[in-house]
Amino acid sequence: MFDNYQFTAAERFLRYVQVDTQSDPQSNTFPTTEKQKDLSKILVTELKQIGLSDAHADDWGYVYATIPSNTDKNVPVICFCAHVDTAPDCSGTGVKPLVHANYQGQDIVLPDDHSQVLRINDYPYLRTQLGNDIITASGTTLLGSDDKAGVAEIMDMANYLMSHKKVKHGTIKILFTPDEEVGKGTAKVNLEKLGADFGYTLDGGEAGSLEDETFSADGVQVVIHGVIAHPGYAKGKMVNAMKIVGEILAALPKDRLSPESTDGKRGFIHPVRLEGIAEKCTIEFIIRDFETDGLKKKEDYLRTQIEERMRTYPKASFEFNVTEQYRNMKEILDQHPQVVEYAKEAIQRAGLNLKMESIRGGTDGSRLSFMGLPCPNLFAGEQAIHSKLEFISVQDMNKAVETMVNLVQVCEERS
């Protein structure tokens, strides 16, 4: 089917990564950085060139476009979604992408910082990439495959479908979002306008992987109120909130329930921020578990630990405030099993080994799923993300395009 097709994903990707779209967690504007719109504008222009006449960007930097249906069948509307921003963890200014054609397993030394070396022993996924064309940055920046790979692949999927009208499909919606990396990617999205029945984020790693599960997540803010007095005359009066906090943190288990001691399906209680004076201290925790019920158990455990420490200080008091952050998308996807089934079939038709994965984090897909758009995460080929050694292969990008084209056909066939 793709024999004579000249894939455009890599060519687009090499251009998009040179546009600085880093988002900013400290910013209160939306999008958090105006420069993200630079890429949104380019994408709208190119979508129109491909033939998607309704392509447009809104004031927030979201890009919407439609590939019209070319079938008589009544097919659900599928959305493909990717984010234009790159992570604040690593510079995204002046990205110089390099193509290492026909990779043979050698060390790849990045030219602008020779201490940055991509080695097969450190990144075993490279063993699957022999003979492929690997793209890296030059050593001083991230590459931005997270998620410009997803963006470029969706663009190429649109290009393929618009130039191969014999491939039957229903209406397909394209959505590019800003600010995913700072947790605001869905803040201003208009799902009514989008009008899709379900969707897929293109924002994963290894070719063939499909993520249908994320953490469920709460935040807990604990405020400890001590009792303040002049330190010269404080005997029997003062209760120092900072010392209580020290005891609470020391009481947390060392060998379990923490990010540094867990992996796989185990969740954790993680203090992320501490602020205070002798009179009053605030600790922020994040609570994570794949089971939403498990969050409550961890919160009860944390509260019990605090109550026990507080018993020694009857004059002190505490507040315990839980806020919901996001929920495991599987709770929604299980109600719409065809969404994951179509993706599995599409991956297998692309000749890939299906690899189901759980994300120890959240995605825009988890938020979209609970907003009414069931949305698992498909692979995009991203590797070593948020780092200067980030890499991706041209061949994995093309497989992602192929998977999307298969997916829209599976959906049409089953309708």
Distance CA 341, CA 350 (A): 14
Number of alpha helices (DSSP H) and beta strands (DSSP E) in the chain:
10, 17
* Cβ proximity to Zn ion, 82 vs 343, nearer residue: 82
Residue 266 Cβ vs Zn ion, minimum distance, rounded to whole Å: 23
Nearest residue (CB) to Zn ion, 66 versus 377? 377
- The residue among 176, 182, 201, 202 whose CA lies nearest residue 86 is 182
User: Which lies closer to Zn ion via its Cβ, residue 299 or residue 382?
Assistant: 382
Given the complex with Zn ion, which of 181 and 402 has the nearer CB atom? 181
Is the distance from CB of 86 to CB of 181 less than 8 angstroms?
A: yes
Q: Of the ranges 13-21, 141-149, 294-302, 346-354, which one interacts with Zn ion (CB under 5 A)?
A: 141-149
Residue range at the interface with Zn ion (CB under 5 A); choices 140-148, 204-212, 265-273, 343-351: 140-148
The residue from 85, 147, 211, 390 that contacts Zn ion (CB under 5 A) is 147
CB 330, min distance to Zn ion, A: 19
Half-sphere exposure of 334 (CA within 13 A, CB side): 6
Candidates 147-155, 156-164, 263-271, 339-347; binding stretch for Zn ion (CB under 5 A): 147-155
Q: Measuring CA to CA, which residue among 191, 149, 190, 194 is closest to residue 172?
A: 194
Tell me which H or E stretch contains 39. helix 36-50
CA–CA gap between residue 195 and residue 51 (Å, rounded): 20
Q: Which is nearer to Zn ion, 146 or 212 (CB)?
A: 146
Total interface residues for Zn ion by CB under 5 A: 3
The span of 44-52, 142-150, 307-315, 337-345 binding Zn ion (CB under 5 A) equals 142-150
User: In the complex with Zn ion, which residue's Cβ is closer, 50 or 378?
Assistant: 378
150, 172, 197, 177: which is closest to 50 by C-alpha?
172
What tokens appear for 360 in the block?
Answer: 């120890």
**Contact residue for Zn ion among 20, 46, 85, 146 (CB under 5 A):** 146
What φ, ψ does residue 347 adopt, rounded to 5°? -65, -45
Nearer to Zn ion, 147 or 211 (CB): 147
CB atoms within 10 A of CB 52: 22
Q: Which stretch binds Zn ion (CB under 5 A): 69-77, 200-208, 295-303, 321-329?
A: 200-208
d(CA 413, CA 415): 6
Instruction: Please report whether residue 203 would count as binding Zn ion according to CB under 5 A.
Output: yes
Q: Is 364 in the site for Zn ion (CB under 5 A)?
A: no
Buried b (16+ CB within 10 A) or exposed e, 397-413: bbbbbbbbbbbbbbbbe
Instruction: Supply the minimum distance, in Å, between the C-beta of residue 85 and Zn ion.
Output: 9
**Least separation in angstroms between CB 203 and Zn ion:** 4
- Measured in Å, how far apart are the chain's first and last C-alpha atoms? 22
* Least Cβ distance, residue 364 to Zn ion (angstroms): 8
Residues forming the active site: 85, 180
Q: How far is the CB of 147 from Zn ion (least distance, A)?
A: 4
Binding mask 149-188 for Zn ion (x = CB under 5 A): ----------------------------------------
DSSP-derived letter for residue 77 is: P
**Shortest approach of Zn ion to residue 56 CB, angstroms?**
23
210, burial (CB in 10 Å: exposed 0-12, middle 13-18, buried 19+): buried
| Interaction site with Zn ion (CB under 5 A) | 146-147, 203
